[in-house]
Amino acid sequence: MKSVVNATIVAVAGAGFSLAMAGLAHAGGPTDTTGQFYGDASSTLKGEGYTVVVAGRSGDQVGLDNCLVSHQEAFTVKKGQDDRGKMVHVTLRCYKAEVAAAKKAAEDKAKSAAT
């Protein structure tokens, strides 16, 4: 019985350590640009030293800079393995209706902030 309790304690401690390390790794990660226009998101991420890679794109009704970032994931390639360094893969949605709604929401937000 004692070995079962010890194994449980070790498993719980290990899981807690893993979660803590994941939180620390994420804390220094890139700005979350989900919901932003690709042109703005790309500028933000490049300014933070990341290479931005379009990993996927759905729709073709608007230009690349006007697509919305629907998902992003950061990767770091260690020196010696590759020379690409810090990268962020983004997935984009490029539909007119979604982009129009996002632009209207941004305009409404700007108007309410100005008043």
| Cα of 4 vs its chain's centroid, Å | 40
* Residue 59 token pair: 């729709």
pLDDT in tens, 21-56: 333 344 578 999 999 999 999 999 999 999 999 999
Domain locations in the chain as residue ranges: 1-30, 31-114
Q: How confident is the model at residue 10 (pLDDT cuts 50, 70, 90)?
A: very low
pLDDT on residue 30:
94
Sheet of 51-58, strand order: 51-58, 86-93, 68-76
Q: How confident is the model at residue 84 (pLDDT cuts 50, 70, 90)?
A: low
Nearest C-alpha neighbor of 99 from the set 63, 54, 52: 63
For the beta carbon of residue 27, count every other beta carbon within 10 angstroms. Answer: 7
CB 69 within 8 A of CB 41: yes
